[in-house]
C-alpha cells in the first residue's frame, strides 16, 4: 500500500545534544520543542513486492551511501515490527534547506515513520510512532506531535517517547528564522554530539541544567509567560553551544552573521521589542516572539545583508497521513 504523510519540523527550546544510549537513541536529558508550521517533509512510502531493493529519493535526488543507509535502517526497524520483508520506494520532499540546522531530519523521519507504518498496514498510536521515529533520528519523535512537545528521555526504548505538553492553540508564539547559510554543515549533529560527550568536561553539568530548565519552561508554558519561555530557551541554547564550542575539536556552528543577529536580538529586547534567540547545530538563528512583534522582526531582518532568507512560523500541528489510510 502506498501512503503519504507530512510532518512539520520543530525547534527545541530545551535542547537535545547527546545520547545516553547510542543504539536506542535515548537522550541524556529530556527536552522540549515547538512544532513549526509550514516547514515540512512530505513523504511517500510504497512497500511492494515490485521492488527488489529499497529506493530512497529526497528532494529529487536518489540517495546513496550514508544518507540512504539511515533511511534503510529505519525501514528495517519498521519491517521488523510488521514482520514484513517487502522492499520500499521512499520519495520525500522538504520545503526548506536540509541539514543547515533546520532539523530536516526531524520532519523527515517523522513523516517517513508515519507513512511507512501505514504502508505496512500497522495502526499504531502516536506514542508508538514517536518511539519508532526516535530510533531513526532522535528529535524526530517530537515532530509526531504538534504544539509544545516534550521528549521524555526514559531508561529503555519503550520509555523514551514524545508527549504533547500543550497543543498548537494553547499559547501562540512565533519563530522567525533568519537563514544566514543554506549549505550543509560540516559536522552532523549525530557525529558532533558523540564528540561532545566524549571530550567536553562541561557536558555533565549541562545535562543537569537542561533538566532544571525543562521543569521551569513547562511551568512557563502552562502560565503562558512568554518572557520566561524566551529567557529559558535562550539560556538553554547557550548552554548547549557552550558544550559544543568546548568540544575537541571545537564545534563552532556559528558564523559571523550568527553573532551579528544574536547581538541585534539583545539590542531589540533592550529597546522593548521582546524577542529571544535559539540556535540548533548550525548558523541560522530562530527568533522567538509574540504574534504582535512578528512583522517588525521580519522587517528588521530584511534589512540585514547577511540574512539570505526568512521563514516565519506559527506553532504547527501533528504529523499526519495526507491520504485517507489507516492512521
- The least distance separating a second copy from the CB of residue 259, rounded to whole angstroms, comes to 5
The residues, ordered by sequence, that sit 6+ positions from 290 with a Cβ below 8 Å of its Cβ are 172, 173, 174, 226, 274
Q: Which is nearer to a second copy, 206 or 311 (CB)?
A: 206
Q: CB of 42 within 8 A of CB of 321?
A: no
Vertex 120 angle, CA 117 and 123, to 5°: 55
Q: Which is nearer to a second copy, 132 or 200 (CB)?
A: 200
CA-CA-CA-CA dihedral for 312, 113, 193, 103, to nearest 10: -10
- The least distance separating a second copy from the CB of residue 245, rounded to whole angstroms, comes to 5
Residue 206 cell numbers, joined: 549541562
CA-CA-CA-CA dihedral for 81, 84, 86, 88, to nearest 10: -20
- The least distance separating a second copy from the CB of residue 238, rounded to whole angstroms, comes to 5
Sites of contact with a second copy (CB under 8 A): 201-202, 204-206, 208-209, 212, 234-235, 238-239, 241-243, 245-246, 248-250, 252, 254-260, 262-263, 266
Q: Which is nearer to a second copy, 151 or 254 (CB)?
A: 254
- The least distance separating a second copy from the CB of residue 44, rounded to whole angstroms, comes to 39
Q: Which is nearer to a second copy, 59 or 195 (CB)?
A: 195
Q: Which is nearer to a second copy, 169 or 205 (CB)?
A: 205
- The least distance separating a second copy from the CB of residue 76, rounded to whole angstroms, comes to 37
Amino acid at each position: 500500500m502506498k501512503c503519504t504523510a507530512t510532518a512539520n519540523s520543530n525547534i527545541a527550546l530545551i535542547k537535545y545534544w547527546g545520547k545516553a544510549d547510542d543504539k536506542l537513541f535515548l537522550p541524556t536529558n529530556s527536552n522540549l520543542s515547538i512544532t513549526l508550521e509550514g516547514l515540512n517533509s512530505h513523504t511517500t512510502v510504497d512497500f511492494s513486492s515490485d521492488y527488489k531493493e529499497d529506493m530512497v529519493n529526497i528532494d529529487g535526488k536518489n540517495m546513496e551511501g550514508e544518507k540512504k543507509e539511515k533511511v534503510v535502517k529505519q525501514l528495517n526497524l519498521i519491517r521488523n515490527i510488521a514482520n514484513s520483508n517487502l522492499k520500499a520506494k521512499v520519495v520525500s520532499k522538504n520545503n526548506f534547506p536540509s541539514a543547515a540546522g533546520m532539523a530536516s531530519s526531524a520532519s523527515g523521519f517523522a513523516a517517513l515513520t508515519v507513512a511507512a507504518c501505514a504502508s505496512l498496514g500497522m495502526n499504531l498510536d502516536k506514542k508508538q510512532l514517536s518511539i519508532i521515529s526516535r530510533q531513526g533520528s532522535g528529535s524526530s519523535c517530537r515532530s509526531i506531535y504538534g504544539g509544545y512537545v516534550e521528549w521524555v528521555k526514559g531508561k529503555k526504548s519503550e520509555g523514551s517517547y514524545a508527549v504533547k505538553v500543550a497543543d498548537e492553540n494553547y499559547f501562540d508564539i512565533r519563530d522567525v528564522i533568519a537563514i544566514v547559510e543554506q549549505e550543509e554543515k560540516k559536522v552532523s549533529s549525530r557525529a558532533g554530539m558523540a564528540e561532545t560527550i566524549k571530550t567536553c568536561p562541561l557536558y555533565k553539568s549541562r545535562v543537569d541544567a537542561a533538566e532544571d530548565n525543562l521543569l521551569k519552561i513547562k511551568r512557563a508554558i502552562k502560565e503562558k509567560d512568554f518572557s520566561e519561555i524566551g529567557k529559558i530557551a535562550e539560556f538553554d541554547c547557550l548552554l548547549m553551544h557552550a558544550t559544543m564550542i568546548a568540544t575537541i575539536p571545537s564545534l563552532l556552528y556559528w558564523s559571523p552573521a550568527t553573532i551579528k543577529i544574536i547581538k541585534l536580538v539583545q539590542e531589540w529586547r533592550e529597546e522593548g521589542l521582546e524577542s529571544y534567540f535559539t540556535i540548533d547545530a548550525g548558523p541560522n538563528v530562530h527568533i522567538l516572539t509574540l504574534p504582535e512583534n512578528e512583522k517588525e522582526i521580519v522587517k528588521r531582518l530584511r534589512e540585514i545583508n547577511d540574512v539570505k532568507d526568512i521563514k516565519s512560523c506559527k506553532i504547527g500541528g501533528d504529523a499526519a497521513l495526507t491520504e485517507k489510510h489507516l492512521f
